[in-house]
Amino acid sequence: MSSAGNPASGPGNPASAGLSVRGLVVELGGREILHGIDLDLAPGLVHGVAGPNGCGKTTLVRALCGTAPARGRVLLDGEPVASMSSRRRGRAMAVVWQNAQAGPDARVADMVGYGRYAHQSWFAARDTGGRAAVEAALDRTGLAPLADRRIGTLSGGERQRVWLAAALAQEPRVLLLDEPTTYLDVAHQLEILDLVRELNDERGLTVVMVLHDLTQTARYCDNAVLMTDGRVRATGAPARALDAETIEQVFGVDTWISADPVSGQPVVVPRSHRATGPGAPPDPAHRAGGHHGEEKR
């Protein structure tokens, strides 16, 4: 995995942007989902958000892009997101939702073209650079040969690349991904995550993505954010944030943690109480990678 320490900004892609959250509270249906979150998401990095189902991960993404009613502050390079028009937000941030859908007869190229909405104006029909941005997005995601295909004829991995290409066509500074690997087999999961990481390296995009696989979070992300019950429990470099004690507190499971022999990042194996025999992970008392007793922020 390449380092994102000095990400490049390609043509049409300004310097990456950072997000800051202060005292974020979100209520939905009369119930408080997020409880006073404070969080800094540094520019130019890939941030992975993980946590149990229902802990508020998707709600956090909605709040970051300004589509969830919220109290507190979400700042994009110091500017309140709530004060930005939808078009300005669309030029700065692109979102790929887990449940993104399109009619089965829609053309791939047309769907990617919808990503240009934030650059279009009621007063100016022309979108300078729009066609080039769409073609570049199709090419970068490997979809150029499929541009005239119908969405209904694509595989799950190909459809996910369509949504990612539409996001790239926006030419954003921040890319938000809500569980981009859901419903994909292992090969297509790695294909999407490799592509996201490459885009971060090439364009300097700030990426925030919700993931369920902690090993993938460690492998592909510069910063891990662990959530539980609408709060951030830990954040930091994966090797520090993903320790056995914190994972047990967040997910309620014992884990065996080792180092990836190539990247050195944590490999997280949930420990089943049924696991016995020579191939079973060691007893929790001998787990590796723990930094016990330290609360991380």
The CATH number assigned to the domain holding 246 equals 3.40.50.300
Q: pLDDT tens digit string along 93-115?
A: 999 998 888 888 999 999 999 98
pLDDT grade, residue 286 (50/70/90)? very low
Alpha helices in 22-85, H assignment, sequence order: 57-64
User: What value does the mean pLDDT of the chain take?
Assistant: 87
Residue 3 identity: S
Within-domain flag for 216? yes
pLDDT at residue 289, as a whole number: 46
- The answer to whether residue 174 is domain-embedded is yes
Looking at the 3D structure of the chain, how many domains does it have?
Answer: 1
* Cα–Cα separations (whole angstroms), residue 243 to 186, 210, 232, 277, 288: 24, 19, 15, 24, 8
pLDDT of 207 > 60? The answer is yes
pLDDT class of 5 with cuts at 50, 70, 90: very low
Q: Is residue 261 part of a domain?
A: yes
Pairing of strands 31-41, 255-259: unpaired
Say yes or no to pLDDT of 127 above 60.
no
Tell me, yes or no, whether 297 lies in a domain. Answer: no
Does the residue 294 lie in any domain? no
Domain contains 279: no
Q: pLDDT (tens digit, 9 = 90+) per residue, 11-28? A: 344 567 999 999 999 999
Categorise residue 270: left if φ over 0, alpha if ψ from -120 to 50, beta otherwise: beta
Contact 112, 134 (CB under 8 A): yes
Residue 79 contacts by C-beta under 8 Å, 6 or more apart in sequence? none
Residue 118 pLDDT more than 90? Answer: no
pLDDT in tens, 172-182: 999 999 999 99
Mean pLDDT computed over 133-157: 95
